[in-house]
Every structure is written in structure tokens, then in C-alpha cells.
Chain A
Amino acid sequence: DTAVSQTPKYLVTQMGNDKSIKCEQNLGHDTMYWYKQDSKKFLKIMFSYNNKELIINETVPNRFSPKSPDKAHLNLHINSLELGDSAVYFCASRTTGNTGELFFGEGSRLTVL
């Protein structure tokens, strides 16, 4: 019974294409995140939503557009993909407040050719 699930797990695409990654959590959490992990393993926050409302946007290019249709889902759409977008994207969720455990999805490995 997966707590945070994201699809697809792997994405290989050409530069200039548009792609989406979907995320769902069944933990009843109010807050969801997207993190980007590059080849050097840095985990960098991109976005955070609390009850469908954007609360953190970490100067991510506007080619990246998150969408939260409800508090259990947070999707990430990327337009005009660039080589530098290649990374593993992790969805995560947490209860409201800053002291709860962050639960990660399995990650989506995006490769832009």
C-alpha cells in the first residue's frame, strides 16, 4: 500500500518536448512538495503546496508548472525541456507544521536527450 506514488518512474525525451509527472499520496497529509535531485545528489526543493495552495516556489523557471487538483495530488508539468532538466524528481508529503516526517515517492528519473 504505497504512501506516496509517482508516475512515470522513468522518462526519456527529446529537448523541446513537454512532459508531466503525477503524484498521489494516501497519507492524509496537507502539504506536498516537489524536489529535484541532480547527478551530484543535491536535493533541492522546487515547490510546496498546502491544501492545494502554492506556498513555496523556489525560483524555478516558469517552464515548470505544478498543479494540485486536490490535497492528495500534486502534478508537475514541464514545458520546452532542456538538457539541464535531466534529474530525478521526487514528490513528497508531510503533515502541516514543520516537524513532521517527510515521506518521499520513489522518484521519477527524467532524461532529456
Chain B
Amino acid sequence: GENVEQHPSTLSVQEGDSAVIKCTYSDSASNYFPWYKQELGKRPQLIIDIRSNVGEKKDQRIAVTLNKTAKHFSLHITETQPEDSAVYFCAASPRAAGNKLTFGGGTRVLVKP
């Protein structure tokens, strides 16, 4: 089955700096790669996703890149703000796996004012 590795597990940045989180996946059949943000005590919520026919996608301060050949994808947050502090999860979903979404281990991001 799919295996998703995520690094780093914790990330501390100064407000205004950029944050980068990287993930690798194992199943070449995966074609959907979402990113979820989980604030303390809350549910995970989708912030951005990318499909395998696209190499990059941007939404305001957030961007994702996908390298299908190397089987890795990354989340970039620019101009970080204190409200970006949360746990971020990457995930991968193979085409024929019963709608299964496999998550990475999570990255705890702390933005220091």
C-alpha cells in the first residue's frame, strides 16, 4: 500500500520568513496530493491540493510543487504569520485503493512573532 513520509516533524520560523515542508510517497499510482492544516484542538482542514497532471499550484501565500518522477511533493508558505502555526499533513491517494487517503506523519509549524 501507499506510504507517505513527511519532513521535518517540527519547524520553527520567524514571522515573515518562509516555511517548507516536504513529503515523499511510494505508490506510483497516486494521483492526488492534498495538504491539511490542523489547528490545536480542531479538525484537519484542506488548505490546498494538487493532481498529478500539474507540477505546481499556488493560492495566495501557499504553493505546492509535485515531482512525479522523484515521487515527492512540497508545501511552501511565504510571509508566515502567527496564525499559520498549526500541524500540517500531506497525503496521497492512489487511483485504485478504495478511495483511501494516506497521511504523512505531520509537521508542527511554530511561527514566532
Contact = CB atoms under 8 A, between A and B. Distances in A.
Given A42-B106, A45-B101, A99 B89 contact: no
A88 B102 CA distance: 17
Interface in A11-48: 31, 33, 40-45, 48
B46 A102 contact: yes
Nearest to A43: B103
Nearest to A95: B99
B31 A42 contact: no
A99 B106 contact: no
Interface residues of A, number: 24
A101 B49 contact: yes
Interface string A71-109: 000000000000000000010001011110110111100
Interface of B: 31-32, 34, 36, 38, 42-46, 49, 51, 87, 89, 93-95, 97-103, 105-106, 108
6 contacts: A43-B106, A45-B101, A48-B100, A97-B99, A98-B93, A101-B46
Interface of A: 31, 33, 40-45, 48, 50, 55-56, 90, 94, 96-99, 101-102, 104-107
